[in-house]
Amino acid sequence: MAFVPAATGLRLRVPTAGSFTTVPRCRSLPIPAPAAAAVGRRARHASPVMIASEPAAAAEAGTAAASPAKPATKPASPNFSSGPCKKHPGYDLATSLGDAPLGRSHRSAEGMAKITESLDRTRTLLGIPDDYRIAIVPGSDTGAIEMAMWSMLGPVPVDVCYWESFGKGWLDDIVKQLKLDVPVRSITADYGQLPDLASTSGEHDIVFTWNGTTSGVKVVDGADWIDDARTGLTFCDATSAVFAMEMPWDKLDVTTYSWQKVLGGEAAHGMLILSPRAVARLESFTPARPLPKVFRMTKGGKLDEKLFQGAVINTVSMLCVEDYLDALLWVDFSGGLEAVIARSRANLGALEAFVERNEWAHFLATDPAVRSNTSVCLVLDMDKDKVKAMVKLLAAEGVAYDIGSYRDAPPGLRIWCGATVDTDDVVALAEWIEWANATLA
Ligand SMILES: Cc1ncc(COP(=O)(O)O)c(C=O)c1O
């Protein structure tokens, strides 16, 4: 891994013989070479790989007696989980988090400076309009979308569009928990398909997921089906899309994501982005239901502006904030939003090449226009036991962790292809999947 000093003036504390010295903070280069810590982790995983390649272990994993030769190269990182997702290339605990103001109040000048820097960098990198509000909220993406739904849904009918588990979860919460007095329509499609989004109404609130993480189906770029002259609000759970897909901010009134997805950050904190129209809803509509403190965004009928200036509702982890800042610096250093989107698309491209050359592998999303470039879901022409064995074998080989499809989704593989994953690793993984297919009984 290579590091270069950042030009940001940020400082990093590093341990030197029992004390700490302050040095310029370093930014990690987006070079696929593994960090020292990652090498250490791989070394710790080395033994199961060797054991699994022994004949007895191979038999136990269901491999055929005469296995084809293993591919020469393993992915430098076996982390293909769809959340928490892989850390960015070059991530190193000490270097990345060394500047965290641990043991300091998040409301101190230093703590607030970190939080506001993360909000400012988020706005700049994502191109969020100046009149949109951004806040860090409790409860990860779930917390962010729930607080928005509980605070704002109710005055007009709601269209809930869903095509996989998380979107279905939001529908269930709206119907079974919120129990709105207004009509709620569900607009839905099976795993692998996108529903008829054009059947939504601009006079209704629309709740949808930009990228269905468990089906690998995303909204078509641009979201033209959202009416520019709408009177309802759009609520978009974009957790596995932000920093990997273009977000048309003019179409989005409430947008949520968490740090643990595309940026490979830490879980537990959510991001909530509100358009001026969403703010107007908050200030004009007071739900009759009780709202817990962690959901409240207004004071005396007005938006609590301080919440969107870094004065978070409750205590944040300064370690996680530092980790998020480090990820934002990595995006910046990698060339910004366009560059990280391109990295993610290149990863999908590697799997498209894999599907192209293997007639037994297919995308769950058959239409390329709606195919996710983050949570890429594959179905394989084999029974689910063989898929399970494949997932187990690849993990045992130290090649890929956590790539089994989501529990409610059709059996198959789900391979995270967000920007923090290196394309070379996806290419290498594809060869191992071919090997596993040929090897397993
Ligand atoms: C589309 C979608 N929404 C919501 C969530 C929940 O995210 P979190 O656990 O960060 O709240 C996930 C997690 O995978 C997701 O994929």
Say which CATH topology domain 3-15+26-93+335-439 has: Aspartate Aminotransferase, domain 1 (3.90.1150)
Query: Ligand 1, closest atom to CA 211?
Result: 1
Indicate the average pLDDT of the chain: 88
Compute the distance from residue 48 Cα to the ligand 1 centre, in Å.
31
CB 381 within 8 A of CB 360: yes
List, by residue range, all CATH 3.90.1150.10 domains of the chain: 3-15+26-93+335-439
| Token duo for residue 271 | 């991001």
Say if ligand 1 is within 6 A of residue 375 CB: no
pLDDT tens, residue by residue, 304-344: 999 999 999 999 999 999 999 999 999 999 999 999 999 99
pLDDT tens track for 360-378: 999 999 999 999 999 999 9
Q: How confident is the model at residue 202 (pLDDT cuts 50, 70, 90)?
A: very high
Kindly give the number of the ligand 1 atom that is closest to the alpha carbon of 145.
4
Contacts of 28 (CB under 8 A, 6+ apart): 1, 2, 3, 35, 88, 89, 90, 91, 92, 95, 96, 326, 330, 333
Structure confidence at residue 44 (pLDDT): 30
User: Angle CA(114)–CA(277)–CA(238) in degrees, nearest 5?
Assistant: 55
Q: What are phi and psi of 75, to 5 degrees?
A: -55, 140
Q: How confident is the model at residue 234 (pLDDT cuts 50, 70, 90)?
A: very high
Sorted by sequence, the CB contacts under 8 Å of residue 272 that are 6+ apart come out as 134, 135, 136, 137, 144, 147, 148, 254, 255, 256
Q: Taking a C-beta distance cutoff of 8 angstroms, is the pair 310, 116 a contact?
A: yes
Mean pLDDT of 348-356: 98
Report the pLDDT averaged over residues 196-213: 98
Q: What is the pLDDT of residues 82-108, one digit of tens each?
A: 999 999 999 999 999 999 999 999 999
Ligand 1: centre distance to CA 363 (Å): 21
Which one-letter DSSP state was computed for residue 51? H
Testing ligand 1's pocket by substitution, the residue of 172, 213, 259 carrying the most ligand atoms inside 8 A of its CB is 213
- What is the residue type of 378? L
Half-sphere exposure of 131 toward its Cβ, with a 13 Å CA cutoff?
A: 9
> In the numeric block, which tokens belong to residue 166?
């998380």
Q: Is the CB of 166 under 6 A from ligand 1?
A: yes
- Check residue 441 and give its pLDDT: 75
Say yes or no: CB of residue 213 within 6 Å of ligand 1.
Answer: yes
Among 81, 171, 239, 375, say which to mutate for ligand 1: greatest number of ligand atoms within 8 Å of CB. 239
Per CATH, the architecture of 104-332 is what? Answer: 3-Layer(aba) Sandwich (3.40)
CB 237 within 8 A of CB 166: yes
pLDDT at 418 over 90: yes
Q: For a substitution probing ligand 1, which of 137, 142, 218 has the most ligand atoms within 8 Å of its CB?
A: 142
| H runs (alpha helix) in 66-216 | 93-97, 109-126, 140-152, 165-172
**Can you give the pLDDT at residue 54?**
40
The residue among 329, 370, 353, 348 whose CA lies nearest residue 418 is: 348
Question: Residue 66's pLDDT is what?
Answer: 64
Query: Which DSSP symbol is given to 177?
Result: I
pLDDT tens digit string along 17-75?
323 333 334 333 333 333 333 333 333 333 232 223 344 444 455 554 567 899 999 99
- Please give the model's pTM, rounded to 2 decimal places: 0.87
